[in-house]
A and B are shown apart, each in its own frame.
Chain A
Amino acid sequence: MSATKALTDGWVVAQRNVIKIKRVPEVLVFVLISPIMFVLLFAYVFAGAIQVPAGVDYKEFLVAGIFAQTVVFGATFTGAGLAEDMQKGIIDRFRSLPMSRSAVLVGRTTSDVVYNVCSLVIMALTGLLVGWRIREGALDALLGFALLLVFAYSISWIMAWVGLIVPSVDVVNNASFVVIFPLTFLSNAFVPLEAFDGVLKTIVEWNPVSSLTQASRELFGNTGGQPPPSEAFSMEHPAVYTLIWSALFVAVFVPLSVRQFKRTSK
């Protein structure tokens, strides 16, 4: 199986998933409503309660964190979508075709980027309404969005693997809650790093969701000119650190998922 054929097959499956998004738009509506809800809730409920570094407005501080949290949560769709695919008759068609064994997975993770692009657009618009601003150049902002999408893509491979090892869509949703909730809340997404102490602070400092958030804040210009909150590598070079994690997730979970996909047919 050539690499070109593998990519084409993945692309064909991705197109099929995108057609499904168009045919069942209700799913997309819910995907888009929850980030709006998050932006509004945090911006108005926690704005006064959470202490942020001087010179930074909480709403500005918050939006990059919401971006990070939402795209990471978006990976749940990958797991749920795959778990659903595996239960449908179409999977037998795919298995009986001379197509790449990775295509169903590549197709799913690729088409889920569409969800994340849509939710980033909606969140950015909501953010602008509540007072969030892009204060660096347009290019930096685009890099910020790109970094969010890359990291989300790598996380979606973890959930792809989860979606293949658990028996149903419901379990994927619960499993992702258990993994992703702590991952996003033990970060600087909603609360600044300075607010944590001891071991917790170390965890938050090195959590890739924190570095993703920090990198986004810097690229959007939402740090109020403050220096990085710590001298750790993850905070000094947050974009690089985030990309290292992304590469690591992909390197580990792509082969794991493909192997699991092959195994479930035996």
Chain B
Amino acid sequence: MTAMIQAQGLVKRYKEVTALAGLDLEVPEGTVLALLGPNGAGKTTAVRCLTTLLRPDEGSAVVAGVDVLADPTEVRRRIGLSGQYAAVDEHLTGFENLTMVGRLYGMGKKQARERARELLERFALSDAGDRPSKTYSGGMRRRLDLAGALVSAPPVLVLDEPTTGLDVRARQQMWDVIRDLVTSGATLLLTTQYLEEADKLADDIVVIDHGRAIAQGTADQLKAQTGGERLELVVAEAHEVDTATRLLAGVAMGEVQRDERTLTATVDDGQAALARLLADLRDQPVTVLEVGLRRPTLDDVFLALTGRVAEADDQSPEAHEKQQEVPA
């Protein structure tokens, strides 16, 4: 299988921050790779390097068979990018936005218009197609932006945090749209802060932190590494914590994490462990406020991989990069 995206040793430094510290990536044709990491991990910087928006300080990248540094224009012909900040012109209608993009891809007027109508239809924007896009909801704007990335039906698609900031319903819709794209055979690189999203959409996941890949694998492999489901218990009184910890440890695979009166542990078979814990709790003088199972989150993955919580620091490379874009 040929790699449609291949990056080697990408490095990008800003004054005090190293946004990318030697990132390697490989996305085989027709597959979906999710770049998973907290804010400031370097996801957006990686995307910008691969889509010719940013020139890496070191390293090389080949996208759709073309060297990103040697022939950026040719790369732009072969990719579609949908960014974190919907790149649509708010004064233009959806139709005008897409027609403009088509024209800039070199299509004739008629072809660009037909393609615009087709995409509006496909993304359920036909009714809103002739309204200025500033009247759109967040989800509609993202869909329009994604439609913009698809105008030339590019073989490689790059989606930077496609659902960040969307509500649950809009996120579900976006996932459906992305799944459709994948079935039609596109190669896709997407970045996300949500393990669930990577799990739902991607074949392969690369976890990045401080501009470097710290783990790679399928969602299942990562979860196995992270330890599957979590059993969480909240008790009412501080003096009950010790007893509760002992009971939870009895059904857990590993150590019990304590945070005030909240206890968390990794469990193997969640349902069985929960049933056993509840049975054990019945005869004990412990007041349970909450108890339940949850799937591992990005925080859990991070905790397992790095031993620390995934926290976005204010000096994130992304925030830094924004300031850098318009030099004073």
Contact = CB atoms under 8 A, between A and B. Distances in A.
Contacts of A12: 100, 103-104
Interface string A58-92: 00000000000000000000000001001111111
B326 interface: yes
A263 B106 CA distance: 24
Nearest to B158: A96
A97 B76 contact: yes
Interface in A1-53: 1, 5, 8-9, 12-13, 15-16, 19-20, 23-24
A98 B148 CA distance: 13
Given A1-B73, A265-B54, A94 B326 contact: no
A103 B104 CA distance: 9
A86 B77 contact: no
Given A16-B100, A166-B328, A265-B53, A93 B148 contact: yes
B38 interface: no
Nearest to B323: A167
Interface string B63-100: 00000000001101101110101111101100010001
B86 A95 contact: no
B326 A5 contact: no
B91 A19 contact: yes
A99 interface: yes
Interface centre among A23, A97, A103, A167 (most CB of B within 10 A): A97
B328 A90 contact: no
Main secondary structure of the interface of A (DSSP, over half): helix
Contact of B327 (A13, A99, A264): A264
Contacts of B74: 98
Contact of B88 (A86, A93, A103, A266): A93
B54 A266 contact: yes
Contacts of A5: 106
Contacts of B53: 92, 95-96, 265
B85 A98 contact: no
A98 B76 contact: yes
Contact of A93 (B55, B101, B132, B327): B101
Contacts of B132: 23
A165 B328 CA distance: 6
Contacts of B325: 86, 264-265
A136 to B, nearest CB: 41
A265 B100 CA distance: 21
Contact of A167 (B91, B92, B105, B326): B326
A8 B112 CA distance: 14
A239 to B, nearest CB: 37
B12 to A, nearest CB: 10
Nearest to B89: A90
A122 to B, nearest CB: 23
A167 B52 contact: no
Nearest to A164: B326
A98 B76 CA distance: 5
Contacts of A83: 326
Interface in B272-328: 325-328
Interface of A: 1, 5, 8-9, 12-13, 15-16, 19-20, 23-24, 83, 86-99, 103, 165-168, 263-266
21 contacts: A19-B91, A20-B89, A20-B91, A23-B92, A87-B326, A89-B86, A90-B87, A92-B53, A94-B104, A96-B51, A96-B53, A97-B104, A97-B105, A98-B76, A167-B327, A167-B328, A263-B327, A264-B325, A264-B326, A264-B327, A265-B325
